[in-house]
Structure 1
Amino acid sequence: MTVTTALNVPELMDKARAKTGLSDFGDDWFREPLDVLVTSLNTEAALSPPGFELTRHRLTALLCDRLRLRAWQREHPAVLDEEVRVAAEICGLPRTGSTLLHRLLAASPQVTSTLSWEVAYPIPFPGEGPDAAVRKRRAQERMQMFAQLSPDFGDLHTVVWDGPEEDVILLDRTFVSMSYDSFYWVPSYGDWLRSADQSKAYAELREWLQVLQWQNPARAGRPWVLKSPHHLTAVDTVFDTFAGCKIVMTHRSPANAVPSYASMVRAMSSQYSESVDPVRIGQYWSRRFARTLQDFASAREARPGRFVDVRFADTVSKPVEVARNVLDALGLPAGPADDAAFEAYLAQNRTERHGSHSYAPTDFGLSEDQLHRDFAFYSEVYL
């Protein structure tokens, strides 16, 4: 028996077809990002045997979801008529308070957001009722497995299976996503991503939001407030895809944010490879974020009225005031119901796990002085 040691795109697609009994992937534009990703995984990621199996399973599951999306649209054509209104995409460098801000805003009864269990399993399983019991159970089991594989991750980022989660996880199904070079050492894929036209990926993000919205009539009339640092790589595409959407930009000194994210990447990528080089990770993300923020500045100059700035220190010290100000900027003035929801979330947040995690820039081949110099163009304007 031959043991497979490399990922193979046709084999992955055949496995997805066999698993679902479906054959229509729709437009095959996704083959380019998937081919680039798989080549990078095979040649650069140094996957461990468990990492290889986890990755093969994950890519197959994502391809299954592509098949299920097309089948769902055929079976429920009304889903394509759903009007998706995105009020805001929250983004900034990772580790800048965007998660706290997102979860706080998502508590508002005026808006809706993607939830962890539904970005993991956006389409009902056969025979599943409207309570989504199967998907919720699987999401809980999946989160428990993730916690076992990466026990330190909870100290870096509080994860709850039924709470607001990044919409970039929906983009994973397009294979155009920052998730991949965060979980794996795939620098050639990351280079490709920075120069890619992401318009078709974002068109599919809109389709996934239609699917989630159609399944939950309670979302009718409520705009989405979404979040992911990935959107920094595609600001113009966000605006072109979602008319009226604003970018809520979270700001924190890169001297803090970059090493913090490098620490998170080290924790995540250790699930998939036994060859994790923290210095290589730190230098990669420092370069990548500097380039991303430089590109972001030019996109911002073109449409300055579509940005809302929030500083990390303010989010931490006066979260309710910040949340109210952001809603006001989105044209959704906060009222007593919002204030009550914000306070309820903050009370819940205090009970969730918050571990301590120690690291230093030098752990990742970085220095505070160099980070201050490399990001001076950004810090002098926004901090």
Structure 2
Amino acid sequence: MTATLDVDELLAKAAAKTGLDDFGDDWFREPLDVLVTSLNTEAALSPLGLELTRRRLTALLGDRLRLRALQREHPEVLDLEVRVAAEICGLPRTGSTLLHRLLAASPKLAAALSWEVAYPIPFPGEGPDAPERKRRAQERMRVFAEFSPGFGGIHSVVWDGPEEEVILLDRTFVSMSFDTFYWVPGYGDWLRAADQGKAYGELREWLQVLQWQNPARASRPWVLKSPHHLTAVDTVLDTFDDCKIVMTHRSPVSAVPSFASMVRTISRQHSEDVDPLRLGPYWSNRFAVALRDFTAARAARPERFVDVRFTDTVREPTAVARRVLRELGAHPDAADDTAFEAYLTRNRAERHESHSYTPQDFGLSEAELAEEFAFYTEVYL
């Protein structure tokens, strides 16, 4: 009999590992149940993939327990004001990472760091320098690179640099991370239709925890970033009152196959049955639906959107970052310019590998993509 994941067993393991038993509101059980069902029936997990996934889900549940314990011990955390200046979203592979890291370099904004989203709660006895969490984050990144060779040519990741807070959302089990790492179309369909309000409420709580650990952030609004936010634009705007959506635009003819290539690379960690010819159509459809929903959300609140084109970000990154700061109500100055140039220098040193693919690799064609996304490109590109 093939081993499978069991939700009750995962909950029990998390409780045993942490010595805690209060998960708080059990609303998260629905997304967790849907995810586990998809993993068991669709993901074709390898024996190693099954074990890695079991550990990952147990750790995420453990963090839910530890979050509630921290809030009980330090109730003042729940009183912290979280200000979000911008949520950068758009299709993946549209220059959003470059823009996010540029804006995160500004002294005027705050961003979550890679080691923080991986390990957001201090370990017992750990001081503010977080040496154990930083050590584990570096080791985690080394292992990830070993399991996903070639990923560095697709998306550069550094353990101490700005990272997508969708990794915090993983702990709600309402996250695009899961159908990026696994073939779980049933879960993806559920996610597309789900009300994400409670998940984003918990994202605010996680930002409170990070802000509590670094009080200097209290004077700076957050700049967040993830393609996941494209699945919940209205929820983002409702949750963070002063937030603007910074939408990055690139032709889906380029963006969709590029993302499919990334998914193929990372999903091979967990399954030996990764079919690229089904990845392309799946993600093409997912993103077409998301962009139609985005268009409707934008029409209702146009004043809360800022547009950035991929070609501009690549050609004039500093000028784009300055313009976005102005759109967010900040006033870029010499300190911002210095920070932007320092990041660009670092960015050039971080990326070494090439990334090659074609739409046909993923069951797509340029003509079909151009037709499917014409409603979007004719307006925004």
Shared fold (TM-score greater than 0.5)? yes
CA distance in 1, matches of 2:55, 2:209: 23
Give CA deviations for 1:119-161 in whole Å, capped at 9, x if unaligned.
Answer: 0000000111110000000000000000000011111000100
What is the one-letter code of the residue matched to 1:235?
V
What's the Cα RMSD here? Answer: 0.7
Aligned to 1:307: 305
Q: Is 1:268 paired with 2:266?
A: yes
| 1:249 match | 247
CA distance, structure 2, for counterparts of residue 166 and residue 130 of structure 1? 22
Alpha-carbon shift at residue 311 of structure 1 (Å): 0.2
2:322 to 315, 321, 324: 324
Q: What SS does structure 1 have at the residue aligned with 2:58? A: helix
- 1:231-255 CA deviation, whole Å, 9 max, x = no partner? 0010110011101100000000000
Tell me, in whole angstroms, the C-alpha distance in 2 between the residues paired with 1:301 and 1:40: 34
1:117 partner letter: W
Partner of 2:202: 204
Q: What does residue 373 of structure 1 align with? A: 371
Q: State which of 211, 235, 238 in structure 1 corresponds to 2:233.
A: 235
What is the SS of the residue equivalent to 2:28? Answer: helix
Residue in 1 that maps onto 2:222 = 224
**Deviation for aligned residue 1:353:** 2.2
2:162 to 140, 149, 164: 164
Corresponding residue of 2:344: 346
Match of 1:39 in 2: 37
How do 1:63-142 and structure 2 match up within 5 A? 63-142=61-140
Instruction: State whether residues 104 and 345 of structure 1, in contact with CA within 8 Å, keep that contact through their aligned partners in structure 2.
Output: yes
Q: 1:4 to 1:126 in 2, by over 3 A?
A: farther
C-alpha contact (below 8 Å) 1:158/1:354 kept by paired residues: no
Distance, in Å, in 2 between the alignment partners of 1:83 and 1:50 is 42
Measure how far apart 1:220 and its partner are. Answer: 1.8
Listed one character per residue, the Cα deviations across residues 320-368 of structure 1 (whole Å, up to 9, x for unaligned) are: 0000000000001101100110011111111112311111000000000
Using the size of structure 2 for normalisation, the TM-score is 0.99
Q: Distance in 2 between matches of 1:348 and 1:190?
A: 35
Unaligned runs of 5+ in 2: none
- Report how many aligned residue pairs link the two structures: 381
Per-residue CA deviations over 1:192-235 (Å, capped at 9, x if unaligned) read: 00000000000000000000000001212100001000000101
Which of 362, 368, 371 pairs up with 1:364?
A: 362
Distance 1:43 1:206 in 2: 32
**C-alpha separation in 1, matches of 2:217 and 2:315:** 31
Give the structure-1-normalised TM-score: 0.99
Question: What residue in structure 1 maps to residue 56 of structure 2?
Answer: 58
Q: CA deviation at 1:4?
A: 6.9
**Cross-structure match for 1:174:** 172
Residue 20 (structure 1) shift: 0.2
- In structure 1, what is the equivalent of residue 10 of structure 2? 12
Secondary structure of residue in 2 paired with 1:162: coil
Q: Take 1:93 and 1:183, find their aligned partners in 2: how far apart are those partners?
A: 17
CA distance in 2, matches of 1:342, 1:170: 26
CA contact (8 A) 1:124 1:135 kept: yes
Q: Please give the alpha-carbon distance, in whole angstroms, between the structure 2 residues aligned to 1:164 and 1:143.
A: 14
2:285 maps to 287
Runs ≥4 residues deviating over 4 A: none
**C-alpha distance in structure 1 between counterparts of 2:371 and 2:268, whole Å:** 30
1:59-115 deviation per Cα after TM superposition (whole angstroms, max 9, x unaligned): 000000000000000011110111000000000000000000000000000000010
**How much does 1:19 deviate?**
0.2
Distance 2:294 2:366 in 1: 23
CA distance in 1, matches of 2:351, 2:189: 35
Give 1:255's aligned amino acid: V
